Amino acid sequence: MSDAVFNYKTGSGLGNLVCPGATGSSTDAYNTSMATTKRLVGVTNGGHLTPTDLCQTNADGNNAIQVLYNHHCCGVDSVAVVGLPALFDCGANGFDWKVGVKDTAYVTTAAFEETLTCQDRKAAFTSIKMARPTVGESLP
């Protein structure tokens, strides 16, 4: 819910400038989606990388993007200058990225079980704030 790349609730962020045609917020995208089954889960203080393990570091203390940058991989140099400071919000607002990965695993597992195996997972989403206290909002 603290994503500076694509804002969660209102307005636009850095991603709206980088991705032509992207407008509004994550909530706007959810609200305008025509999907019959859709879910939106917001993680309190979670940033852009909350649903990933890209904040994980190797033995040298570098994350995946830093490794690519250090090895001068094609395209990473220009992205590093423009977008990485906003993108790499690991630990921003005191948020532990490992918690975000667990939040994402909980939500995606329930959604996949619901969609792919036709299981009733409404209870998993109804009780999500109790199961995953860092979740600030869950829209059915």
Contacts of 22 (CB under 8 A, 6+ apart): 6, 12, 15, 16
Domain spans of the chain?
45-135
What pLDDT, on a 0 to 100 scale, did the predictor assign at position 78?
63
What pLDDT, on a 0 to 100 scale, did the predictor assign at position 50?
83
The pair phi, psi for residue 98, each rounded to 5°, is -65, -35
**What is the C-alpha separation between 42 and 35, in angstroms, rounded?**
19
Ranges of the chain whose pLDDT falls below 70: 14-18, 20, 77-87
What pLDDT, on a 0 to 100 scale, did the predictor assign at position 93?
81
What pLDDT, on a 0 to 100 scale, did the predictor assign at position 105?
93
List 138's β-bridge partners, or say none. 41
What pLDDT, on a 0 to 100 scale, did the predictor assign at position 34?
92
Q: How many CB atoms lie within 10 A of CB 138?
A: 17
